[in-house]
Structure 1
Amino acid sequence: MIIDSLLDTDLYKFSMMQVVLHQYPAAQVEYRFKCRNPGIDLVPYIEEIRAELAALCQLRFAADELDYLRGWRFIKSDFVDFLGLFQLNEKYVEIAPAAAGNGEIEIRIRGPWLHTILFEVPLLAIINEVYFRHTSADLDLAEGRRRLRAKIALLRDTPDYAGCKIADYGTRRRYSRTWQREVVTELRDGLGAQLAGTSNVWLARQLNLTPLGTLAHEYLQAHQALGPRLRDSQVAALEAWAKEYRGDLGIALSDVYGLEAFLRDFDMYFCKLFDGTRHDSGDPFAWGDKVLAHYRANRVDPRSKVLVFSDGLDVPKVMQLYAYFRDRCLLAFGVGTNLTNDVGPTPLQIVIKMIRCNGQPVAKLSDSAGKNMCEDAAYVTYLRQVFQIPATQGL
């Protein structure tokens, strides 16, 4: 059994789920799976993935896990009470070979947002582990350990980088659950205070680390169908978040419609209200310069705000960004696949993205190519018009 605790997921799933319970309990959504690696044949593993999914859907939150969640300052008691009754239901998940017969698999998750939001991260972790246990069963992890220790030494031992901290964001694309635990344990023991924490709630509890995360793209995408009108959906999402958390968990995600559209909505009110912003697509250096200039233009001292970088990072890239932005703002770095799946074989680039909410298509058009998964081309065209997004962005 790959997943044996419902805590084995990323923190932002719980923080978003609480908003859904309190503000959008009737919302209906659809998610779709995609593997971005060409030529990967996942069809032989469908039955094993289904068996692991069935086991996942037997899990319930244990009393001590609920007590752990109840101890977080931003979690409300009624949400923990709801989780005490919660159980995933496999009837919401369909897994089948793709109609094209090319080795790809179709996974669709359809149902109430409140009851499907926790599928994404553990299901991706299951697909990864099933795939790698078959394709690299005899892998010697000595090379992975060598690479990991070299990364730790580089960050820890380079002069003038003591203030540079990283966090583990690698649950969704990890080589295995056991390997992620070993990686994060090594990071904790090797980096000390330079490890800010982990996005994985189960590991944070097991290793006495800080769980990290706020919100994901699906939260802002859903507001395309939940907000008062499409043009106001980004503002509505940020305001709903502020209503729920009252200044806590204050990192805004900037790339659902691209940075320029985000900055048009992220006015002085939001600049002052939110603690910072997160980068997840496009050139991180150009992004950071524009965000810091935006803070200054809105009479906010950038040195009081956090820039969070989380897009395809490795330790050398983290260090470059730290050197470029240090002393200009506060900094945080989330490193994912390069920490938890750098053992030799090529990692899978797999995602599960929301594509519909309340029967309406939803999409993101980020600052990087190839990240849009919307199935309705007419809607994407309309979205570009509403948010003044260039025709080439996100393709």
Structure 2
Amino acid sequence: MNINFAERAHNHNWKLDPIVRSLLDTDFYKLLMLQFIWKNFPQVPVTSEIHNRTVKVRLAERISTSALKEQLDHVRGLRLRRSELVWLTGNTFYGTKQIFHPDFLAWLENDFHLSDYEISEEKTAGPNGDKTGQLVLRFSGLWTEVTMWEVYALAIVSEMKTRAALAELNELELDVLYARAKTRLWDKIELLRTVPGLRLSDFGTRRRHSFLWQEYCVQALSRALGPALSGTSNTALAYKHDLEAIGTNAHELPMALAAMASRGSDDDLRASQYKVLELWARSYDNELLITLPDTFGTTQFLEGAPDWVARWTGQRIDSKDPFVAGDEYIAWLIHRGQDPRTKRLIASDGLDVRTIVRLHEYFNGRIRFSAGWGTLLTNDFRDCHPRGPSAEQDTFGPISLVCKLTSADGIPCVKLSDNPNKATGPADLIERYRRVFGSPVLAEEPVLV
């Protein structure tokens, strides 16, 4: 915890300091999804792309393409260490021994590699083709080669934005910046310490300020909150600090299966959101049963879900108002003959401490609530700039950076989301998906992260 961030930033040669130091420096769910893909879809080609939803931050003007390439190439050269493989082999995840199959771990050690990539600068669709100032970072290859790029690439781009901003400050200013950020973090922790029965996890890898800052935040939470910190989604930090690795799966799976099912009938497309759950349950022997229902709309998902879905362990909320989504899930469980007090509800979208506390109080005693605290844990430097608000201009503020599948097996991918601002895919396909899934266009909500 005794890291002098200001001195390190002021004196360090960033070129010699890789952002991703280990293949474990990723969200745990990516490893679980990689094993699922390796087992069920080893030959499916996909494409994914980085997209910056905070368009006022022109990343192509802040990040050197050559430096970005060096960081990406460094990750492509990484291999899992023997000690890391032993930990993956023998550790108990969610109380389940040997969650990773020996054949998968052998493949991960000997045959896994990341796909190639393309870097360019986005241009407008108009006749002049003006540059927008946004990076285009695209990954194409077998799904097993592409899926892991998501978190590595997001963390790299996010930290390169950080490093560019740090380079503009002198050592005194850097001291002020980090002093303010540490004070803000401690104020948040002080509030959380007053809440009995609180459960939260670190979900902040992909849009973090830096790896070292994320590690500092996780260690601070662990020491101050004790068992209230359930763990971290960052597998490297879980390994290094003996914490629980947290995660299951993400929107990528239903998006890909829906794309492949879209070749068939509308019924095939609609059923794909449940087929992926069946396949997941078989792949993990009915463990890790947390649904993520908002890929094509939460309400339609619950209304059409088979009864066996209600017997799953719980639900993660992403793009819907968590108070509304939690009430909806509880009512659905009761209607399906389940006791909500035995289920888990995980909120994870753009949370900060006051919302976490309110959610805990609102759902306490009704369902087993926990919070996945992400970007506003590991990258909240808003208003910390030593030169004041006029110099801030989103220099250190978090941005909404995402990496989404754009195609699977040659078919474009779609995500509808409960928030139209998060929808992705070609307009004509979005229209078809809305018709098939019965997902109306809901009111748009601001997207911070």
State TM-score, norm by structure 1: 0.95
Matched, 1:103 2:127: no
CA-CA distance at 1:393 after TM superposition = 6.5
Q: How many residues align?
A: 389
Q: How does 1:100-249 map to 2 (within 5 A)?
A: 100=124, 101-137=131-167, 138=169, 139=174, 140-156=177-193, 158=194, 161-227=195-261, 229-249=268-288
Deviates more, 1:219-228 or 1:293-302: 219-228
Q: Which residue of 1 aligns with 2:440?
A: 390
Amino acid at match of 2:141: G
CA distance in 2: counterparts of 1:106 and 1:259, whole angstroms: 30
Is 1:81 matched with 2:132?
Answer: no
Shift of residue 352 of structure 1?
0.6
Question: Contact 1:366–1:393 (CA<8 Å) still a contact in 2?
Answer: no
1:22-52 per-residue CA deviation (whole Å, 9 max, x = no partner) reads 1111111111111111322222422111110
Residue identity in the other structure for 2:183: R
- More moved, 127-136 vs 305-314: 127-136
Correspondence 1:37-52 to 2 at 5 A: 37-44=54-61, 45-52=64-71
Instruction: Please report how far the alpha carbon of residue 319 of structure 1 lies from its aligned counterpart in structure 2 after TM superposition.
Output: 0.7
Does residue 342 (structure 1) correspond to residue 342 (structure 2)? The answer is no
The aligned amino acid for 2:161 is Y
* CA–CA separation in structure 2 for the residues paired with 1:347 and 1:24: 34
For the 8 Å contact 2:320–2:418, the answer to whether it is kept is yes
Tell me the amino acid that sits aligned with residue 255 of structure 2: Q
Q: One-letter code of the match for 2:83?
A: D
Distance, in Å, in 2 between the alignment partners of 1:243 and 1:152 is: 40
Relative to structure 1, is the Cα distance of residues 109 and 216 closer, same or farther in structure 2, using a 3 angstrom cutoff?
same
Matches within 5 A, 1:315-326: 315-326=353-364
Structure-1 separation of matches of 2:79 and 2:89: 16
Q: In 2 relative to 1, CA 294–89 (structure 1 residues): closer, same or farther, beyond 3 Å? A: closer
Equivalent in the alignment of 2:290: 251
Letter in 2 for 1:221: M
1:368 to 419, 431, 439: 419
Could you list the runs of 5+ residues in structure 2 that have no partner in the other structure? 1-17, 92-96, 125-130, 385-395
Correspondences of 1:278-317 after superposition (within 5 Å): 278-317=316-355
For the Cα contact (< 8 Å) 1:57–1:87, is it kept in 2?
no
Q: Does 1:21 align with 2:38?
A: yes
* Mapped partners of 2:34, 2:52: distance in 1: 25
Q: Is the 8 A contact 1:234 1:265 kept in 2?
A: no
Task: Quickly say closer, same or farther: Cα 1:214–1:89, change in 2 above 3 A.
Answer: closer
Letter in 2 for 1:360: I
Question: Which secondary structure state, in structure 2, belongs to the residue aligned with residue 61 of structure 1?
Answer: coil
Q: CA deviation at 1:78?
A: 1.1
Q: Which amino acid aligns with 1:301?
A: D
Deviation at 1:99, TM superposition (A): 2.3
Q: Distance in 2 between matches of 1:385 and 1:394?
A: 19
Say if 1:96 and 1:107, in contact at 8 Å, map to a contact too. yes
Is the Cα–Cα contact under 8 Å of residues 200 and 372 in structure 2 kept in the other structure?
yes
Cα separation, 2, equivalents of 1:393 and 1:28: 34
Letter in structure 2 aligned against 1:204: A
1:359, CA displacement in angstroms?
A: 0.8
Cα separation, 1, equivalents of 2:243 and 2:204: 15
1:55 aligns with 2:74: yes
Cα deviation for residue 210 of structure 1 reads 0.2
Q: Which amino acid aligns with 2:438?
A: Q
Q: Distance in 2 between matches of 1:90 and 1:76?
A: 23
Partner residue, 2:387: none
Aligned-partner Cα distance in 2 for 1:333–1:286: 15
> What is the Cα deviation at residue 264 of structure 1?
2.3
Cα-Cα RMSD: 1.5
Distance 1:175 1:366, change over 3 A: same
Q: Is the 8 A contact 1:59 1:87 kept in 2?
A: no
Distance 1:86 1:170 in 2: 29
* Ranges in structure 1 where 5+ consecutive residues have no aligned partner: none
From the CA coordinates, give the structure whose radius of gyration is larger: 2
For residues 260 and 210 of structure 1, the distance between their equivalents in structure 2, rounded to whole angstroms, comes to 31
Q: SS of 2:151's equivalent?
A: helix
Distance 1:176 1:230 in 2: 40
Letter in 1 for 2:282: K
- Structure 1 residues 372 and 350, CA, compared in 2 at 3 Å: closer, same or farther? same
Structure 1 window deviating more from structure 2 (122-131 vs 225-234): it is 225-234
1:71 aligns with 2:71: no
Q: Which amino acid aligns with 1:47?
A: S
* In the alignment, structure 1 residue 32 sits paired with structure 2 residue 49: yes
Please state whether the residue corresponding to 1:347 is helix, strand or coil.
coil
> Are the counterparts in 2 of residues 61 and 86 from structure 1 also a CA contact under 8 Å?
no
C-alpha separation between the residues in 2 aligned to 1:358 and 1:162?
48
The Cα of 1:247 is off from its aligned counterpart by 2.0
Which residue of the other structure, out of 321, 332, 353, is the alignment partner of 2:404?
A: 353
Indicate how the Cα distance of structure 1 residues 170 and 86 shifts in structure 2: closer, same or farther if over 3 A, else same.
Answer: farther
Q: Is the 8 A contact 1:88 1:115 kept in 2?
A: yes
8 A Cα contact 2:300 2:439, kept in partner: yes
